Amino acid sequence: MQKLIADLKASNIGEIRTNERLAPYTTWKIGGPADCLIIPHSKEQVAAAIKFLHERGLPWTVIGRGSNLLVGDRGIRGVVIKLGHELDTLRFEGSMVYAGGSYSFIKLSVLAAKEGLTGLEFASGIPGTVGGAVYMNAGAHGSDVSRILKQAEVILDTGELVVMQAEDLQYAYRHSILHTLPGIVTEAVFELQVGDRNEIAGAMAAYRDRRLRTQPLQLACAGSVFRNPEGGFAAKLIEEAGLKGKRVGGAEISMLHANFIVNTGEATAEDVLTLINEVQLIVEQSYGIKLVPEVLVMGER
């Protein structure tokens, strides 16, 4: 590992941190260390970094703002990549929006609204990056990324930069081809529509008020833990099973929203995973429905 670190530092691929604890990089505030964290500050450094790792057969993982992520207590072996703030870019060209991979998805929705552009209202409560949103086909309130994405700039693990059209990403519910095609989204182009600023602001305010009333945003969490089953709602099933308030260690099913697991202060990844497994077991026994987690679980337990 020492030789690898020395080689990485000599390769001018960004900031290199070793044995970096990942809990502060996630909204759950949970997770052990990464062997190595690379923070590239340009597209060229992103390409150089993943090409370097690919050529040596070394595993790597990319994280955004950690809003849909559970990192194991023993951390992540190999290399973790987090885009630097230099890739936090934004520009408007009429109804087209060009956003860097590390740009805040929430901030993007707010600024688009100020421009009088509609289509991103659903994103006003999704606390991830643009790159993460493209990767996951993030969505809420009946809409998602697939409906507004024009194209995405992706750097493959060979170091090649490609432009993928929306149809190339093979979008499905919270899924894209990027789940199986290793690459990092460095920019996305969204095609919005001109709308009424007051109507857009009103819709976003209504979404915000509803979130504040129904979601435990004052505590560390990762948003909805389970996908909604076809024709139903995970939160309703969990609540009807009497699981609100159920706790394992420092992890607790929120009393405010049953599809949220909150970190009450000292939760471990094992606490969260145990609680997830118990919820799945009880809901399946009660209703014959196996709830599927939509959070990404990475690293070692």
Out of 20, 153, 187, 294, the active site residue is 294
What is the three-state SS of the chain?
A: CHHHHHHHHHCCCCEEEEEEECHHHCCCCCCCEEEEEEECCCHHHHHHHHHHHHHCCCCEEEECCCCCEEECCCEEEEEEEECCHHHCCEEEECCEEEEECCCEHHHHHHHHHHCCEECCHHHHHCCCEHHHHHHHCCEECCEEHHHCEEEEEEEECCCCEEEEEHHHHCCECCECHHHCCCEEEEEEEEECEECCHHHHHHHHHHHHHHHHHHCCCCCECCCCCECCCCCCCHHHHHHHCCCCCCEECCEEECCCCCCCEEECCCCCHHHHHHHHHHHHHHHHHHHCCCCCECCEEECEC
Catalytic pick among 174, 176, 187, 254: 174
Task: Give catalytic status of residue 294 as yes or no.
Answer: yes
**CA angle, 137 then 141 then 142, to 5°:** 65
Q: Please, are residues 238 and 231 in contact by the beta-carbon 8 Å criterion? A: no
Whether 197 sits among the annotated catalytic residues: the reply is no
174 is catalytic: yes
Contacts of 219 (CB under 8 A, 6+ apart): 254, 262, 263, 264
Q: Which of 67, 124, 176, 224 is catalytic?
A: 224
C-alpha–C-alpha distance, residues 269 and 245, integer Å: 18
Which residues form the catalytic set? 174, 224, 294
